[in-house]
Chain A
């Protein structure tokens, strides 16, 4: 059986015994999905590449401490999320742009007059592009934990428990990070999707 056919636990066991070819198989198996996660969190291709590489280097260093009962993939993704958050914090400390791939400015950009209908059209494409630009910029405004928690839960399907372990947060703090992230994104996109556009105004009192 080749490395690529073997399941993670067999390959991880060999990698822990010092077999670099086995570790190589793990790198080849998980790199693309790690890049996906890293890009979602960092919003930047170069940073995502760095996160992927640093994740594997750290994984190799700490592989002897990996408990074989756990999922290697989940363990790896936790490291990646942690690395991505650290990188964002480092960028912020040095006053660098959080999201180099995001447009520099979107405030004041007017949406198309109405939400386009379902037919593919120039208007619809333009509207979609505007939403994505605003989304990208709004993501860049989230705190590192909000961003990572939201991405891991909504876009990558991690459990609250796994996210909490990756980010070093308690369950409630993890949930609050996600809620705050969604509310911030909602506010950023409200000109497109909010009540003002739909004409519906809440009249009840929220508990």
Chain B
């Protein structure tokens, strides 16, 4: 039956748009008026309405309140890996900027400059000798090992954590571990490339410990914390880091000539 005042039936798309709230007020009023007086369109409208209602009622499996935390645990290793890659790229990019080079003062940048300057600067402003490169590497690795040592000592000796039964938040320690991972990888590769096998081996072992620590949940039980401590102690990594760090400091001292670095022209 045609409606006397609205002879043209709205197209189904208009009915759908009306039900989904996608018509402006005037268009919606026209459709509503027609549907109110037209049996055929009212039937179509009801049918579409019931279809949309059934779709809206389709059940969705619920997830627990801590679902977000579970998702984070699952993706965290890959996020950290991405972060390490990003940091690595930043370090390489950073040393290419003269101003950053002057200001950064980071051991990682110095290490990269020392190793790469001769190979990547089209016209090296100052040739850097093998001795100087070695000394910069030693300083950088020595500092890095000191930071790693402090982290491990903090973990092994802190008896105040994880003993009360409640989970312990190790996120601060993990953040430090994450920061050390990227630098550690660079130093390990540099050491391996320089035939510093003993240093490379310790850095390799240290990297595993740091990654293991960084990839754990940030909340750990007392037992889990104890397990981390036992793992560190059983591998003797703290002792090996101390020994190699001490050796490097000794070599660094022996290799240090009168500064400045630019005086090296051999």
Partner-B contacts on A (CB < 8 A): 18, 20-21, 23-24, 27-32, 35-36, 39-40, 45, 52-53, 56-57, 60-61, 128, 131-132, 135-136, 139, 150, 153-155, 160, 175, 178-179, 182-183, 185-186, 189-190, 192-195, 198, 200-207
Contacts and interface: CB of A to CB of B under 8 A. Distances in A.
23 contacts: A18-B86, A20-B175, A21-B175, A24-B72, A27-B71, A27-B75, A31-B71, A35-B67, A61-B82, A139-B55, A155-B55, A155-B56, A175-B22, A179-B13, A182-B51, A189-B51, A198-B43, A200-B43, A202-B40, A203-B39, A204-B38, A205-B9, A207-B11
A32 B69 CA distance: 10
A98 to B, nearest CB: 15
Chain A contact surface mostly: helix
Nearest to A29: B68
**Most interface-central of A28, A29, A135 (chain B CB within 10 A):** A28
Contact of B12 (A27, A29, A136, A179): A179
Given A28-B69, A178-B20, A182-B51, A21 B171 contact: yes
B60 to A, nearest CB: 5
Interface in B52-84: 52, 54-61, 63, 67-72, 74-76, 78-80, 82-83
B178 interface: yes
B256 interface: no
A204 B38 CA distance: 9
B68 A31 contact: yes
Contact of B51 (A20, A40, A60, A193): A193
B1 A185 contact: no
A20 B79 contact: yes
Nearest to A34: B71
Contacts of B67: 31-32, 35
A81 B42 CA distance: 34
Nearest to A207: B8
Given A40-B60, A189-B50, A20 B80 contact: yes
Interface residues of B, number: 53
Contact of A132 (B10, B39, B54, B76): B54
Given A27-B75, A204-B41, 13 more contacts: A27-B71, A28-B69, A29-B68, A30-B68, A36-B60, A56-B75, A57-B79, A182-B48, A183-B16, A189-B50, A200-B40, A202-B41, A204-B40
A56 B76 CA distance: 10
B17 to A, nearest CB: 7
The list of the 10 closest CB pairs from A to B, nearest first, reads A28-B68, A202-B40, A31-B68, A200-B43, A193-B50, A31-B71, A27-B72, A186-B51, A179-B13, A207-B8
A29 B72 CA distance: 11
A184 to B, nearest CB: 10
A60 B79 contact: yes
A185 B22 contact: no
A150 B52 CA distance: 10
A57 B58 CA distance: 29
B38 A183 contact: no
Contacts of B151: none
A206 B63 contact: no
A151 to B, nearest CB: 9
B83 A35 contact: no
Contact of A52 (B42, B71, B76, B80): B71
A202 B83 contact: no
A12 B139 CA distance: 36
A204 B41 CA distance: 9
A116 to B, nearest CB: 13
Given A31-B68, A178-B16, A189-B54, A53 B40 contact: no
B12 A132 contact: no
